[in-house]
């Protein structure tokens, strides 16, 4: 991390552009390059364990993850015991667009956003990381409509066998039913549920399940899809937080196609797949990217190359990113190519085997040579006569 005085001197602040539970986001200018950046300033000092945990988790995750649809962390520094995270600046969020267009966004634009959101999440999932807080304000959009996921403070690596998750996840409106009932062994599918909620909100301008409590959230979900799966019912009944409560009951279910009759069949199909009550039945990001929703009109054949050009143009126009990613590439090339102990030991064993084979071949050759000489022939005859 950079020295605080030196780090702060590099930037000129234009003022506050965002605020959350744990910090503020300032729009600033990097004086040397004139590049605009976003600096996240955590409100509490490092003495606050929760703030420190969230901040350091975000730093760790974003240093590990580099992808065109994930926001780039440029540098980190401390000042007066507070952490400052410097990010590339993005023009606005999906939430800003929904506030500007309260009736929702055009399906063609939503499709472009969905493709990029899924690509970003797919990269996280391939690297065994769950984002756990997908929502409109955490989807950044550039002026050229490049989309990037941000806010990795609640992201974490996927739990191994027997491990459980214990800390807070996801804003309530985007929480999957397994989270709401208190399942501690959830997985990547929670991010896909949130994507389904996000897609519906982008298309309609309204939150899909705007519950004001966990029970009310479950009511909204059950009203749309009917009763929960058996496993989630059992977890709910055993959860001490719900003692004396019953799962909401709904007489008349209102499915998505009835609730949103003007949406296309492909949009409804995508949403229903994301919002399957059984997490095991929700497709992966990779599977979703092959959905007919993205195949229509040759979208998946044309859009990725268009997007690559936009991403490259933005990168070329950002000296801080060029410097950052160039340095990282150089560091990677300088690293010695260490082979694992397992690999080196197996190679050593293989070399020993080859040596042994060579010795045996050499020994056999010598025997043949000796047997082909007159002395060798006599020795063989003498040996045969003794048998």
What is d(CA 36, CA 87) in angstroms, rounded to the nearest whole number? 9
Question: Residue 297 annotated as binding?
Answer: no
Contact in structure between 44 and 51 (CB atoms under 8 Å): yes
What is d(CA 217, CA 321) in angstroms, rounded to the nearest whole number? 41
* Number of alpha helices (DSSP H) and beta strands (DSSP E) in the chain: 16, 10
4 φ, ψ to 5°?
-60, -45
Contact in structure between 83 and 50 (CB atoms under 8 Å): no
Question: Residue 48 annotated as binding?
Answer: no
What is d(CA 220, CA 297) in angstroms, rounded to the nearest whole number? 34
Cβ-count burial of 162 within 10 angstroms (0-12 exposed, 13-18 middle, 19+ buried)? exposed
What is d(CA 209, CA 201) in angstroms, rounded to the nearest whole number? 9
What is d(CA 60, CA 2) in angstroms, rounded to the nearest whole number? 16
Cα Rg, the chain, nearest whole Å = 30
Q: What tokens appear for 268 in the block?
A: 């409804």
What is d(CA 109, CA 373) in angstroms, rounded to the nearest whole number? 88
Buried b (16+ CB within 10 A) or exposed e, 57-72: bbbebbeebebbbbbb
CA nearest to 303, candidates 76, 108, 79: 108
Q: Which residues are part of the catalytic machinery? A: 133
Residues in binding site for Mg(2+): 138, 151
């Amino acid at each position: 991390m950079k020295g605080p005085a030196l780090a702060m001197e590099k930037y000129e602040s234009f003022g506050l552009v965002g605020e959350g539970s744990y910090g503020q986001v300032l729009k600033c200018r990097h004086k040397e390059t004139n590049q605009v950046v976003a600096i996240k300033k955590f409100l509490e000092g490092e003495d606050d364990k929760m703030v420190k945990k969230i901040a350091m988790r975000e730093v760790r995750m974003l240093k590990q993850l580099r992808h065109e649809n994930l926001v780039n962390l440029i540098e980190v520094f401390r000042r007066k015991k507070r952490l400052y995270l410097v990010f590339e600046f993005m023009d606005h969020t999906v939430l800003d667009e929904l506030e500007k267009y309260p009736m929702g966004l055009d399906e063609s634009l939503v499709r472009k956003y969905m493709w990029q959101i899924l690509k970003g999440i797919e990269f996280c999932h391939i690297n065994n990381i769950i984002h756990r807080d997908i929502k409109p304000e955490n989807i950044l959009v550039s002026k050229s409509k490049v989309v990037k996921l941000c806010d990795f403070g609640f992201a974490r690596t996927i739990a191994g066998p027997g491990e459980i998750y214990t800390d807070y996840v996801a804003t309530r409106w985007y929480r999957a039913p397994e989270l709401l009932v208190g399942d501690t062994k959830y997985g990547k599918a929670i991010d896909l549920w949130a994507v389904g909620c996000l897609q519906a909100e982008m298309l309609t301008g309204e939150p899909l399940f705007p519950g004001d409590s966990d029970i009310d959230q479950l009511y909204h979900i059950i009203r749309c899809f009917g009763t929960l799966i058996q496993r989630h019912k059992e977890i709910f009944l055993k959860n001490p937080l719900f003692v004396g409560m019953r799962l909401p009951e709904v007489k008349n279910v209102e499915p998505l196609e009835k609730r949103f009759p003007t949406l296309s069949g492909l949009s409804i199909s995508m949403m229903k797949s994301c919002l399957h009550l059984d997490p095991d039945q929700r497709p992966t990001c990779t599977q979703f990217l092959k959905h007919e929703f993205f195949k229509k009109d040759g979208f998946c054949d044309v859009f990725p190359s268009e997007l690559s050009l936009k991403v490259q143009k933005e990168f070329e126009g950002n000296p801080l990113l060029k410097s950052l990613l160039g340095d990282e590439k150089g560091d990677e090339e300088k690293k010695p190519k260490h082979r694992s102990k397992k690999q080196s030991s197996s190679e050593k064993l293989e070399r020993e085997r080859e040596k042994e084979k060579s010795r045996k071949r050499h020994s056999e050759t010598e025997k043949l040579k000796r047997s082909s000489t007159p002395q060798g022939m006599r020795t063989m005859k003498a040996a045969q006569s003794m048998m």
